[in-house]
Structure formats: structure tokens, C-alpha cells
Amino acid sequence: MKVQEKLSVINERIQTACRQSGRNPEEIQIIAVTKYVSAARAEEALEAGVLHLGENRDDGLADKYNVLGDRAVWHFIGSLQSRKVKNIIGRVYYIHSLDRLSLAAEIDKRTSEPVQCFVQVNTSGEESKHGLKPEETADFIRSCSSFPSIRIAGLMTMAPDTEDTSLIRTTFRRLRELREEIQEMNLSHAPCRELSMGMSNDYEIAIEEGATFIRIGTSLVG
């Protein structure tokens, strides 16, 4: 199926989720997660009007960046090893997986430009998930002020692998509550306006709970 057709379906569902929760659809940006597909398919997403593309490996990013360059706003969405930072800096505008000070230090070492980061938080408590504990997040973000190029754009989480939608909702809601706590700290390096949450199977719940970036692979470009 064409990306354009899949995008229409997703846009309809975004509209519905927004109506149900009293939100403005313009607050929500779609990141097309292109990690499993070709550069040609990623380009199709751009042509359908998606501006944001997400990759979770440095080599996948490099391959597609070489073809598409700055026609897309690039997001790095996967767990990030410090030694790979140098391969993505200068290409990505957003990093969604900041979860340790050593990574913040490495990013800061590699650039003097501001890098928009999401702090990944494990709001589900699942052992298998990356991310900080919710209660560690505020202190972590405070400490990031010692790295001049780190900007905390927002928070990111992954829902648990479950059919239990109320558990998924709780995971997303916790991230929104945490964002309020961070915003109340009024830190100049951490405006923390964005919430990156929701994937193909759960983006409507994420929108109802305040997502501003949804990360969609399978149901958009798959």
C-alpha cells in the first residue's frame, strides 16, 4: 500500500483521538520510523508530506542520510552507544534516547551546536526497557546543564508489551506528569515541551495522554 494511503488512515485516527481528548491535531507530529525499509520508501514518506524520519542505528541513518540529506528532520530513536555518537552528530536534529550523563558528555564533546534531546524514561518499570527511573529524571536533567550543547526538548517512553490498554495509558500518563515536574523547575537548558510516545499499536492512547511526537513504523511505511 502507498505511504500516502496509510498516512490518510493514520491522520483520520489522530483526528479522532484529538476530538476525544480535546486536543488540537496540529500539536502532534508524526515521525516515520524507517528502520526496516529502504531509502526509496523513506522518500515516499517525505513525498506524502511527512517531515520527520526516525532511525535506530547509525549505519541505517547514514545510508538514508546520504540519499535524502536535510530534506528530512532526522530523529535518532534507538539506544545509543557512546562510541556511535560521532556517526550521527551533524545528521540528527533530535536524539530520543538520552539516558546517562556519559552519553550527554559524549554528545557535548562532539559538537558545539545545540542538540535537541529527549530523556528516555522507563515509566512502565519493565526490566527489558531502557531509560531512567521516573524518580531519577529530575536530578538527571538538572545535571545536564553542565553540557552546553545539550537541550532537553522533552521526554520519551516506550509502552509495555501488553494488551492491557489501561497499563499502557498509565505508562504514558506518568510521562506527562513528569514533564510537568520538569517544567516547573524552569531550567533554561530544559524547556521540556515535548512528549515522544506512541507507536503503531498504541499511538491513539498516547495522543489522548498528551503525545506531541508519535513514532510510527509498521503501520505507516511497513
Considering the complex, state which of residue 187 and residue 219 has its C-beta at the smaller distance from ligand PLP: 219
With vertex at residue 29, the alpha carbon angle to CA 37 and CA 64, rounded to the nearest 5 degrees, is 30
Beta-carbon count within 10 A of 91 CB: 18
- DSSP, residue by residue, 48-111: TT--EEEESSHHHHHHHHHHHGGGSEEEE-S---GGGHHHHTTT-SEEEEE--HHHHHHHHHH-
Which one among 7, 50, 68, 77 touches ligand PLP, defined by CB under 6 A? 77
**Number of residues engaging ligand PLP in binding (CB under 6 A):** 12
Which one among 30, 78, 117, 211 touches ligand PLP, defined by CB under 6 A? 78
Whole-number Å distance between alpha carbons of 198 and 19: 17
Q: Which of 184, 186, 157 is nearest to 172 (CA)?
A: 157
Is 218 near ligand PLP (CB under 6 A)? yes
Q: Smallest distance from the beta carbon of 201 to ligand PLP, in angstroms?
A: 6
- Whether the CB-CB separation of 119 and 103 falls below 8 Å is answered with no
- Whether the CB-CB separation of 155 and 192 falls below 8 Å is answered with yes
Q: Smallest distance from the beta carbon of 159 to ligand PLP, in angstroms?
A: 10
Q: Smallest distance from the beta carbon of 145 to ligand PLP, in angstroms?
A: 26
Only segment of 42-50, 124-132, 140-148, 194-202 that touches ligand PLP (CB under 6 A): 194-202
- Joined grid coordinates for residue 211: 503525545
Which one among 178, 199, 207, 211 touches ligand PLP, defined by CB under 6 A? 199
Which one among 7, 33, 85, 119 touches ligand PLP, defined by CB under 6 A? 33
- Whether the CB-CB separation of 215 and 54 falls below 8 Å is answered with yes
Is 81 near ligand PLP (CB under 6 A)? no
Only segment of 106-114, 129-137, 178-186, 196-204 that touches ligand PLP (CB under 6 A): 196-204
Question: What residues make contact with ligand PLP under the rule CB under 6 A?
Answer: 33, 35, 56, 77-78, 199-201, 215-218
